[in-house]
Chain A
Amino acid sequence: MDINIQDYKRVGVVTVGGRIDGATAPDFESHLKDIIQSGQNNLILDMNNVDFMSSSCLRVMLTTRKALMKVGGRLVIADPSSRVTDTLDIAGIDVLFEVFADREAAIASF
């Protein structure tokens, strides 16, 4: 898993790629918790380069979404790969996440 975080004034952009499963989800979660604890209430997950995501990744996304909603923030997805779209659809949780075609559109929504 590769992860890069850009923290803007209104939103943090987390670019993640590779494989997010039981082996890497704890590291993914740790990065997201760190950025939330730093005071950022809005996050964009740029997931164009994700080539595998298991339910461990989905759990992290759901718990992060809940944590941000509690403080009035949002978690959205930008530019998802076909694997990400497939997994969200198979799990039946695609309706829980706002999805934008690219990160610029996602940033503009905040």
Chain B
Amino acid sequence: MSPEHPPEEEPSARAQRLAEFFVKTPLLRMRIERENEEFEFVRSSFAQVRGAAEQAATPEPVAERPIDVLRADVVGVLRFGRHVPTLGEEVAEERELAAIEALGIRTSVRARSSGRLTAILCQDGAAVDYGRALFEIERG
């Protein structure tokens, strides 16, 4: 995380982000002045600093969020079902997200595991070729 802030960020969100950054540093005090804004963060005890330093030295384990990329295994036209997949929705394992129509045959595109739909990479009615990425699912 960086103490720099994106220009469109709300001040409260920015303060929260900077505070999170500060607690991970070994600093006793951090003060940031920028245009009309001013933030100051102060630690109340040295023990907290040591704890923060140790935390910084051992990186926080990154939570594993395996992503399933569902790809086309035939050439055809992608058709969403009646239940049109929407970004962010939770999907169950084996849920049919769409089908690929080719030569009058319909091949289902199903979720390999349950999770959250994080990307819809092709639109309904699109011509898709072999290996084309169609959906991304963050396994839950």
B is a partner of A = no
Using CB atoms and an 8 Å cutoff, list the residues of chain A in contact with chain B.
none
Using CB atoms and an 8 Å cutoff, list the residues of chain B in contact with chain A.
none
